[in-house]
Protein backbone atom coordinates (compact mmCIF):
# COMPACT_ATOMS: atom_id res chain seq x y z
CA UNK A 1 0.00 0.00 0.00
CA UNK A 2 1.37 3.38 -0.87
CA UNK A 3 0.95 6.24 1.55
CA UNK A 4 -2.54 7.54 0.96
CA UNK A 5 -3.68 11.09 1.25
CA UNK A 6 -6.97 12.16 2.79
CA UNK A 7 -8.87 11.25 -0.36
CA UNK A 8 -7.23 7.88 -1.08
CA UNK A 9 -8.57 5.55 1.60
CA UNK A 10 -12.03 5.06 0.09
CA UNK A 11 -10.74 2.90 -2.79
CA UNK A 12 -8.50 0.95 -0.42
CA UNK A 13 -11.43 0.07 1.87
CA UNK A 14 -13.67 -0.75 -1.09
CA UNK A 15 -10.94 -2.96 -2.57
CA UNK A 16 -10.61 -4.91 0.66
CA UNK A 17 -14.37 -5.34 0.86
CA UNK A 18 -14.50 -6.57 -2.73
CA UNK A 19 -11.36 -8.72 -2.84
CA UNK A 20 -11.67 -10.31 0.60
CA UNK A 21 -15.46 -10.39 0.70
CA UNK A 22 -15.04 -8.65 4.03
CA UNK A 23 -17.85 -6.76 5.70
CA UNK A 24 -17.28 -3.39 7.32
CA UNK A 25 -17.97 -5.02 10.69
CA UNK A 26 -15.29 -7.68 10.18
CA UNK A 27 -12.84 -5.07 8.91
CA UNK A 28 -13.48 -2.94 11.97
CA UNK A 29 -12.82 -5.85 14.35
CA UNK A 30 -9.70 -6.84 12.40
CA UNK A 31 -8.37 -3.29 12.56
CA UNK A 32 -9.50 -2.81 16.18
CA UNK A 33 -11.65 0.25 15.45
CA UNK A 34 -15.33 1.10 15.49
CA UNK A 35 -17.43 0.32 12.43
CA UNK A 36 -18.17 4.03 11.97
CA UNK A 37 -14.46 4.74 11.74
CA UNK A 38 -14.10 2.39 8.76
CA UNK A 39 -17.18 4.00 7.19
CA UNK A 40 -15.54 7.43 7.54
CA UNK A 41 -12.40 6.13 5.85
CA UNK A 42 -14.47 4.69 3.05
CA UNK A 43 -16.24 8.04 2.63
CA UNK A 44 -12.86 9.84 2.70
CA UNK A 45 -13.89 11.81 5.79
CA UNK A 46 -10.90 10.76 7.89
CA UNK A 47 -7.73 8.69 7.67
CA UNK A 48 -6.30 5.94 9.87
CA UNK A 49 -3.59 6.98 12.29
CA UNK A 50 -0.66 5.28 14.01
CA UNK A 51 -1.08 1.60 14.82
CA UNK A 52 -4.37 1.47 12.96
CA UNK A 53 -2.65 2.61 9.78
CA UNK A 54 -0.06 -0.15 10.29
CA UNK A 55 -2.81 -2.76 10.75
CA UNK A 56 -4.52 -1.52 7.59
CA UNK A 57 -1.22 -1.83 5.70
CA UNK A 58 -0.89 -5.39 7.04
CA UNK A 59 -4.43 -6.24 5.88
CA UNK A 60 -3.69 -4.85 2.41
CA UNK A 61 -0.43 -6.86 2.32
CA UNK A 62 -2.36 -10.00 3.31
CA UNK A 63 -4.85 -9.40 0.51
CA UNK A 64 -2.05 -8.84 -2.01
CA UNK A 65 -0.22 -12.00 -0.93
CA UNK A 66 -3.45 -14.01 -1.16
CA UNK A 67 -4.13 -12.79 -4.69
CA UNK A 68 -0.56 -13.64 -5.75
CA UNK A 69 -0.68 -17.10 -4.15
CA UNK A 70 -4.16 -18.11 -5.25
CA UNK A 71 -4.20 -16.30 -8.59
CA UNK A 72 -7.34 -14.27 -7.97
CA UNK A 73 -9.41 -12.65 -5.24
CA UNK A 74 -11.87 -15.55 -5.59
CA UNK A 75 -9.14 -18.07 -4.76
CA UNK A 76 -8.18 -16.01 -1.74
CA UNK A 77 -11.78 -15.83 -0.53
CA UNK A 78 -12.05 -19.60 -0.87
CA UNK A 79 -8.98 -19.99 1.38
CA UNK A 80 -10.45 -17.51 3.89
CA UNK A 81 -13.49 -19.76 4.27
CA UNK A 82 -11.60 -23.06 4.54
CA UNK A 83 -10.79 -24.71 7.87
CA UNK A 84 -7.14 -24.37 8.89
CA UNK A 85 -5.11 -26.83 10.99
CA UNK A 86 -2.79 -24.00 12.02
CA UNK A 87 -5.77 -22.03 13.33
CA UNK A 88 -7.16 -24.96 15.30
CA UNK A 89 -9.80 -25.81 12.67
CA UNK A 90 -11.06 -22.24 12.58
CA UNK A 91 -11.18 -20.53 9.22
CA UNK A 92 -8.91 -17.56 8.49
CA UNK A 93 -12.06 -15.45 8.25
CA UNK A 94 -13.06 -16.47 11.78
CA UNK A 95 -9.57 -15.57 13.00
CA UNK A 96 -9.89 -12.15 11.36
CA UNK A 97 -13.26 -11.67 13.07
CA UNK A 98 -11.48 -12.42 16.34
CA UNK A 99 -8.95 -9.67 15.56
CA UNK A 100 -6.11 -12.13 14.87
CA UNK A 101 -4.67 -10.73 11.66
CA UNK A 102 -1.24 -11.85 12.88
CA UNK A 103 -2.34 -15.50 13.04
CA UNK A 104 -3.93 -15.35 9.60
CA UNK A 105 -0.72 -13.88 8.15
CA UNK A 106 1.34 -16.60 9.85
CA UNK A 107 -0.98 -19.27 8.42
CA UNK A 108 -0.64 -17.84 4.92
CA UNK A 109 3.15 -17.57 5.31
CA UNK A 110 3.30 -21.21 6.38
CA UNK A 111 1.25 -22.24 3.39
CA UNK A 112 3.50 -20.19 1.07
CA UNK A 113 6.65 -21.79 2.47
CA UNK A 114 5.28 -25.31 2.09
CA UNK A 115 5.11 -26.05 5.82
CA UNK A 116 1.76 -27.84 5.38
CA UNK A 117 2.80 -30.14 2.54
* Residues 6 or more apart whose Cβ sits within 8 Å of residue 110: 86, 116
Whether residue 54 is contained in a domain is answered as: yes
Whether residue 29 is contained in a domain is answered as: yes
In this structure, of 6-20, 50-64, 100-114, the range with the lowest mean pLDDT score is: 6-20
Range of the domain at 85: 9-113
Torsion of CA 68, 52, 6, 40, to 10 degrees: 100
Whether residue 70 is contained in a domain is answered as: yes
Whether residue 28 is contained in a domain is answered as: yes
Whether residue 2 is contained in a domain is answered as: no
Write the pLDDT tens digit of every residue in 36-60: 999 999 999 999 999 999 999 999 9
Whether residue 64 is contained in a domain is answered as: yes
Write the pLDDT tens digit of every residue in 53-105: 999 999 999 999 999 999 999 999 999 999 998 999 899 999 999 989 999 99
Whether residue 47 is contained in a domain is answered as: yes
Tally of domains in the chain: 1
Write the pLDDT tens digit of every residue in 22-31: 999 999 999 9
Phi and psi torsions of 88, nearest 5°: 65, 40
Whether residue 75 is contained in a domain is answered as: yes
Amino acid sequence: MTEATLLDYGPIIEGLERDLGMSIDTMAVTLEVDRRTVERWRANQSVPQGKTRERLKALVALRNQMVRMFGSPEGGREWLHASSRYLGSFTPEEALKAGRLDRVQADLDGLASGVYL
